[in-house]
Structure formats: C-alpha cells, structure tokens
Amino acid sequence: MGVILHSRHSRTFSERVVERYEKFQRLIKEKEGKVNGSGSILQEKSITSGELEVANFSSGEISIQLKSCVRRHNVHLFSQFRQGSRGNNDNQYINIHEDIAELGLLLDTLKRSRVDSVSLYMPFMPYLRQDKKAGDREPISAKNLFSRLEVSGGRVLKGFATSDMHNNACEGFTDLPVDKIAAFPLFVLYYKVKLEEELKEKKVVVVSPDAGGTTRAEKLANCLGADVAVIYKKREKGKEAVSKALLGDVDGKIAIMIDDMICTGGSIVNGAKLLEDNGATQVYACATHGLFNIDANSKILTEEKLYRSGLRVLITDSIPRSQVYYDSCYKWLRVVSLAKYYADLVYCNEAGISAKKILDMHLERAIKEQTDINDYLIPQQKRAISGEVIGDIVEV
C-alpha cells in the first residue's frame, strides 16, 4: 500500500493531490471492469496519508518525528520550496536552504524506517538554472542538489518527479528516473476558454520573451492556432536583461508571453512594454513557476511590478503560498493547480503503468476542451490587505 507524506510547506499541495487521487479511485470503482484508452483495466490502488511532526529547535536545527508506520510501504513524498519576499504573505524572511535541509532529513528518516521505496515529488526544483560552470572555480549546483538527495534517500529512493525543468539536460545529473509533469496542457485549456472569440478571429499571438523559449512559444501557438513572435533580449554585465527588438507582428492583437518561470518580473514587464509599443492591445503572461523574488536593485516587490504593468498573469501552485496570498492578488493573478497531474502520476507509480499515456491524455483533452478549466483554477475572492472579503471572483 502507498503512503503519502509531505514536508511542512507542501501540506496544502499534498492535500489537493490526495483529494484528486481519491476522486480518481471513486471513478475507477464506478467503471470497474472497463478498459482505459491503452486497452488495460484500471484497478483500485488505495493510499493513506501518513503523519509527520516537523519543527525547529530554539537553535534553529530541524526536528523530525515520523508518527506513521511505513515499514514495507511505498512512500510518495511531496516537497515544495518557498520563494519570494512574501511567499506566504507573512513578510518573513524565507530561507530556501532550510527547506532543502528538511527534505534531506525526511529522506534519511524514511531510509531508516524500512520502507520499500520512496518516490520524491518536487513541483519546483531550485538551483536548476545553475546547470553548468559559468566561469572558473564555480560549482555545478544543480548536480550537487541531485547528489545530496540521492545520498539522503539511499537505495530506497527510486525516482524524482518535477515540473518544467529550466534545462531538461539536468535529468542527466542523476542515474534515477525523472518524471516531468508539464503545466502546458493547463495553459492551452485556459487560453482556449479565455480567448475563444479572439482565437477564432486570429487576433492572438504567442510571444517568447527570449530566443531560448521559441520552441515553447511555437508549441503553445500550434495548440491554440495562433501566430508566433519572439523578443530579442540583451543582458549587459551587472544589469537586468533589456528587451531590444521584436520579431513578428503583434499590432492589434492580444499577446500571450510564455516562460518556464517568472523571477523578478523584469523580462516579462519589459517585454510587455515592447509589445504594447508595437501595437498589442492586451498582454497576458503564463509561467509554470511564479518565483516572484524581490528585485535586488530596485527592492520593488515583483507582485507590485506585475500589477502596475497591467499584465494578466497565469501560474501554477508549484510554489507554496496561502489562500490569503492568492486572494490579495486577485486583480492580476490566476493560479491553476498541478495536483490532478501529480495524483495521476502517484497512481501510475502505484499501479506500475505508463505515465506518458496518462499525461499525453491531458494535453489531448485540453486541445479538444474536454475538461473544465474551473476544475483546475484555485478559487479567488477580492480581499482587502487586511484579509476582509469585499467581493466575488474576478476573471483576468
């Protein structure tokens, strides 16, 4: 039997996964004996939620106590890493390395608890932008992170799962299998519904904020039946990258910028201004990971920067944040959850069936609009800064 466990800051995401998994199990029971699209019979695979106690001693050291017996079980461990200057809407300093250390101790705990296997699910993996040496006497930090996790998990760690790696070549930094869960189908579904009329009238263009993301933009454009444009970006030493030129026609069209992550928002905001200067009537932006780190130079919150720009931003819940945070950003931000996709992957790992067929099905269903985008959107309400409810959901 499988057991789902989670780090402190991935509780909400883990609970969403469990809810989706249980819903999937009820569906399997209703269709018992029927075959799926691959010709095989889906079987019920029940899982349980384990109990952990994680806290900090007064010295700052982390204390972990596993309350559930996991001997001879398959453990599905979820871990999320905090990002942003106010990633949990509490204005406290966020130390990502505490989250990494906690994960290492959790893996060591499971290794010493006689589990049969551990599958590690990290919707966002830090350090993957440091995938090579940029100069002499520098570490390859992405490789180091994989190595540390492998050592902590030992022989019981059987594989990783993550979403939209900054560079898929990082998969080669480990000998363990890496499942990649794309948010792409959710972006396709969202814009097919949101911009249905504009897509029919050929008034939508998908834009890559830099040359490196052209393939990603072309893929989204093909699924939406839209045109493609690319922004040429130049980075001067010690300064933020600046959008210099645009390849493609956006005049009189709605532009959708797509990237794997939004860090300080500089590239997205500069790109949006360039698109508007070239005649774009409205600019949307989507990215799997909304890091929203504070700009080290201007000290301006990324949330404030994006809101002032007039952008309509779509991200996933790969970074842990509270519902109050989402509610306070209702004017410019919408969030889609990856929980169902990860629940499906947990089932594939439990049942020993192909994950690719199930994940490909999500894209196929999104293109055909056979799923409801509201089933994935995290609900939002208008809230004042104090958290007072002042209205209903607002579409962006």
69-95 pLDDT, tens digit each: 999 999 999 999 999 865 444 445 678
Give every CB contact of residue 96 below 8 A, 6+ residues apart in sequence: 81, 82, 83, 126
Mean pLDDT of 4-19: 97
Q: What are phi and psi of 340, to 5 degrees?
A: -65, -40
Q: Sheet with 74-78: list strands edge to edge.
A: 47-49, 2-6, 74-78, 117-122, 157-162, 178-180
Active-site entry in 192, 233, 305, 340? 233
368 is annotated as an active-site residue: no
Instruction: Give the residue-averaged pLDDT of 160-182.
Output: 95
Is the separation of the CB atoms in 284 and 333 below 8 Å? Answer: no
Domain identity same for 217 and 133: no
- Is it the case that residue 255 has pLDDT exceeding 80? yes
Please name which of 344, 375, 377 lies closest in space to residue 360, comparing C-alpha atoms: 344
In the prediction, which pLDDT does 95 show? 83
Q: CA 78, CA 302: separation in Å to the nearest integer?
A: 27
- Asked whether residue 394 carries a pLDDT value surpassing 60, the answer given is no
pLDDT of residue 236: 58
Higher pLDDT among residues 91 and 47, named by residue: 47
Say whether both 14 and 47 belong to one domain.
yes
Q: Is residue 372 assigned to a domain?
A: no
Same domain, 119 and 207: no
Residue 188 shares a structural domain with residue 177: no
pLDDT value for 86: 54
Based on the fold, state whether residues 80 and 132 are members of the same structural domain.
Answer: yes
Q: For residue 355, tell me if it sits in a domain.
A: no
Give the pLDDT confidence score for residue 391 in this predicted structure. Answer: 39
Mean pLDDT of 350-378: 92
Whether residue 206 sits in one domain with residue 151: no
Domain boundary among 111, 146, 181: 181
* Distance (Å, whole) CA 4 – CA 79: 11
Compute the distance between CA of residue 334 and CA of residue 326 in angstroms, rounded to an integer: 8
Cβ–Cβ < 8 Å for 2, 47: yes
Is 342 inside any structural domain?
no
Q: What are phi and psi of 241, to 5 degrees?
A: -60, 140
Range of the domain at 28: 2-181
The per-residue pLDDT for 122 is: 98
pLDDT of residue 138: 95
Q: C-alpha distances in angstroms, 156 versus 57, 107, 151, 176, 347?
A: 28, 9, 10, 11, 19
Percent over 90 (pLDDT), the chain: 78
The DSSP call for residue 82 is: -
Distance CA 202, CA 180 (A): 32
How far apart CA 231 and CA 213 sit, in angstroms, is: 10
User: Token digits for 229?
Assistant: 């444009």
User: Domain end: 265, 284, 317, which one?
Assistant: 317
Q: Report if residue 358 sits inside a domain.
A: no
pTM for this predicted structure? 0.92
Q: How confident is the model at residue 386 (pLDDT cuts 50, 70, 90)?
A: very low
Q: What is the DSSP letter of 41?
A: B
Does residue 340 fall inside a structural domain? no
Which residue would you say has higher pLDDT here, 61 or 94?
Answer: 61
Closest CA to 13 of 334, 331, 325, 341: 341
Say if residue 175 is in the same domain as residue 190: no
pLDDT band at 357 (very low <50, low <70, confident <90, very high): confident
pLDDT score, position 239: 55
- Residue 232 and residue 285 in one domain: yes
Q: Provide the pairing of β-strand 242-247 with 227-234.
A: antiparallel
Q: What is the mean pLDDT of residues 95-123?
A: 97
Q: What's the half-sphere exposure (Cβ side, CA atoms, 13 Å) at 87? A: 24
Residue 68 has pLDDT above 90, yes or no: yes
One domain, residues 245 and 303: yes
Mean of pLDDT values over 336-350: 97
Residue that terminates a domain, selected from 293, 317, 341: 317
Confidence band for 106, pLDDT divided at 50, 70 and 90: very high
In a domain, 130, yes or no: yes
Please indicate, yes or no, whether residues 153 and 269 belong to a single structural domain of this protein: no
Q: What is the pLDDT of residue 93?
A: 61
Cα separation of 178 and 168, whole Å?
10
Q: What is the pLDDT of residue 235?
A: 62
Listed range (14-18, 145-149, 266-270, 285-289) with the worst mean pLDDT: 266-270
Distance between CA atoms of residues 264 and 177, nearest Å: 31
The average pLDDT across 96-118 equals 97
pLDDT exceeds 50 at position 390: no
What CATH number is associated with residue 102?
3.40.50.2020
Q: Are residues 16 and 156 in the same domain?
A: yes
Three-class SS string for 341-388?
HHHHHHHHHHHCCCHHHHHHHHHHHHHCCCCCHHHCECCCCCECCCCC
Taking the C-alpha atoms of residue 45 and residue 345, their distance in angstroms, rounded to an integer, is 12
pLDDT averaged over the chain?
Answer: 90
Whether residue 152 lies inside any domain: the answer is: yes
Does residue 264 sit in the same domain as residue 309?
A: yes
| In-domain check, residue 339 | no
Calculate the dihedral angle through the C-alpha atoms of 184, 187, 193, 198, rounding to the nearest 10 degrees: -110
- Whether 108 shows a pLDDT value over 60: the answer reads yes
Question: Count of domains in the chain?
Answer: 2
Q: ∠94-100-101 over CA atoms, to 5°?
A: 105
